[in-house]
Amino acid sequence: MADERIVVCPGSYDPVTNGHLDIIARASRVFDTVVVGVVGQAIRKSTSLFTPEERLGFLEDATDELANVRIEIFSDLLVEFARKQGATAIVKGLRAISDFEYEFEMNQLNRKLAPDIESVYVIASPDYSFLSSTGVKEMATFGADVSDLVPAPVAAALTDRVSRG
Ligand code: ADP
């Protein structure tokens, strides 16, 4: 397709939540191809619970039904990753006010680095606007049930991981 609209949805996805999946599914209905970019080397968050390969596996499993979605691990600059994928835009989910300040700053930086790549923001669904990977990990650590917040294999892996410390 000559004018195929490819977008990237970047994130740490440590692990993927139903909130992430909602954004990915909604993006997949608007754009031709969605490349979910899993951050391999996190700068913002120093330690991750799951390896990039595990995070990719959860995402592949959870997006299996979405034919125009694929998952990649990236460790370069986001705009470089987007360019390599042939993407014209970066899609980010926006939760309650907390995401805004960070996204505003990243938007200015990315715009300076790559004015040709647009950033598009998808507002979180009310059901998921307070859902974060960090929150889910905290809940699982204290034995709370996270089965309606993340896909089933993720809930099982979380229980397993936190029980082993
Ligand atoms: P987190 O902040 O949960 O660790 P990531 O760094 O993996 O998430 O975020 C990837 C993208 O998904 C970001 O654009 C983030 O704002 C968005 N996102 C995360 N959780 C949600 C949610 N519950 N609803 C909508 N967007 C979300």
- What gap in Å lies between CA 161 and CA 89, rounded to an integer? 35
- What gap in Å lies between CA 61 and CA 88, rounded to an integer? 26
Please check the confidence at residue 1 and state whether its pLDDT lies above 60.
Answer: no
Question: 20 in ligand 1 pocket by Cβ < 6 Å?
Answer: yes
Name the residue of 9, 16, 23, 36 to mutate for ligand 1: max ligand atoms within 8 A of Cβ: 23
Please check the confidence at residue 43 and state whether its pLDDT lies above 70.
Answer: no
The end-to-end CA distance of the chain, in Å, is 48
119 HSE (CA, 13 A, CB side): 20
Task: Return the ligand 1 atom nearest residue 123 CA.
Answer: 25
Would you state the pLDDT for residue 97? 83
Would you state the pLDDT for residue 42? 64
Average pLDDT over residues 69-77: 96
Q: What is the pTM of this model?
A: 0.93
